[in-house]
Amino acid sequence: MKHRLLTFLLFISFGLQAQYPTLSDQAEVSLITIGPGKYLYDCFGHNAFRVIDPSINMDRAYNYGSYDSFEDGFYVDFTLGTADYKLGVADFDRFILSYQRQNRWVKEQVMDLTQEEKQAIFEYLENNARPENAYYRYDQFFDNCATKLRDVPLEVLGDKLQFKADHLDRFFTMREMVDQNSFNHPWIDLGIDIALGNIIDRTATLEEHMYLPDYVFSGYANASIERNGQEIPIIKQTNDLVITDFWERPVDKLQPWMVFAAIAIVVIFFTYKDYKLGKRTRSIDFGLFLFTGLIGALILFLWFGTHHTTTVNNLNVLWAFAPNVVVAFYMLKKSPPKWTRVYARFLVILMVLMTLVWVTKFQVFNVALLPMMLMFTFRYVFLWQKGLLKA
């Protein structure tokens, strides 16, 4: 590891020397962090590299968040976990102008590097931007525009670059970090929590925190580099390039828990009424079973039918039970088969298991599901104890 930079420089010098300009002593390599915006795709922020050298009139932004047009099946590829992003290179003034127009703050961290290190990172980026090297398989948590700012300097500098955890009050899970950034999009946050499995409920490592731009910024602010046997801060200067008055606000006035609580109250009321009158409102059972079954089928598709690394081991299947899609149609019958009563008892057991999973934090569910859990349990117990007794 100690000789990684030397090896890299030798590779550059023999294979790529004639292709890239030599930076002057005026050159600087910086890390750019962009704050969140008002839209969903902006709420996690963004990162990029900047290489500037006034002597050769160069000021470039290297952006690993680029992708080809939304045409040619991009949305399908993203859903399947096969979307390829790429490293794009742009004039820095043009790059930053778009974020100024969006009223998003931009901060710059200038790295304290030797001339050789600046040249090495610059040539790494230039080589990576070549058409045959530019594309990479995007992963929201493990390989994105933020993690590239962590990984590229580590690849070039090796063990000399050290990240420390002093700036963290505690280590978060990835799900907690998602919540920190998507709080102003509660319905999308709910969808993310339902779609992703318990992989994101383990405590993230220091490096894994840096899948988000904010943690890249704070991580480098606390990082060091070795110089002659001593550690010095890797960041020598921090600049506010764009200062704004933007702050995030919830965009949805109707919160998920409000909607679910209202639905739960209605269903529990009709369930109590059914119990008293000794009948069963079949439309309620059909709707609940069909809804939970369809969500469960989607979860299973994301688990087994895509290449996403974080949609596996998803215990939302305990309440969103895919076979309910089929059972829903039996619920339309006035006298469903006898086995449906045993099936309802099994669903009650699943709700108990879901509670244990949540309490032990083996997987954390969205808090908006609480009224739905109460509703499901109440209705399933009714079906087991009385509603399907004549079945």
Domain boundaries, the chain: 4-163+210-242, 256-387
Q: With 0-12 CB in 10 A as exposed, 13-18 as middle and 19+ as buried, what is 246? A: middle
Q: With 0-12 CB in 10 A as exposed, 13-18 as middle and 19+ as buried, what is 284? A: middle
Helix runs in 133-251, H state only: 145-157, 174-182, 186-195, 206-209, 213-221
**What are the DSSP calls for 3-72, one per residue?**
THHHHHHHHHHHHTTTTSPPP-TT-EEEEEEE---SSGGGTT-EEEEEEEEGGGTEEEEEEEEE---STT
What pLDDT does 18 receive?
44
* Whole-Å CA distances, 220 to 21, 31, 63, 111, 240: 27, 9, 18, 9, 16
Task: Give the C-alpha separation, 196 to 198, whole Å.
Answer: 7
Among 350, 357, 358, 356, residue whose Cα is nearest residue 376: 350
Token reading at 222 = 């606390």
Task: Give the C-alpha separation, 223 to 206, whole Å.
Answer: 11
Q: Is the dihedral of CA 98, 214, 75, 188 positive or negative?
A: negative
- Give the pLDDT means over successive 10-residue stretches in the chain (391 positions): 49 53 95 87 88 96 81 68 88 94 94 96 95 90 93 94 92 93 86 95 94 95 93 96 77 85 97 94 97 97 93 97 97 94 96 97 96 97 88 56
pTM, full prediction: 0.86
Q: Is 178 helix (H, G, I), strand (E, B) or coil?
A: helix
What pLDDT does 246 receive?
73
**What are the DSSP calls for 100-111, one per residue?**
HHTT--EEEEEE
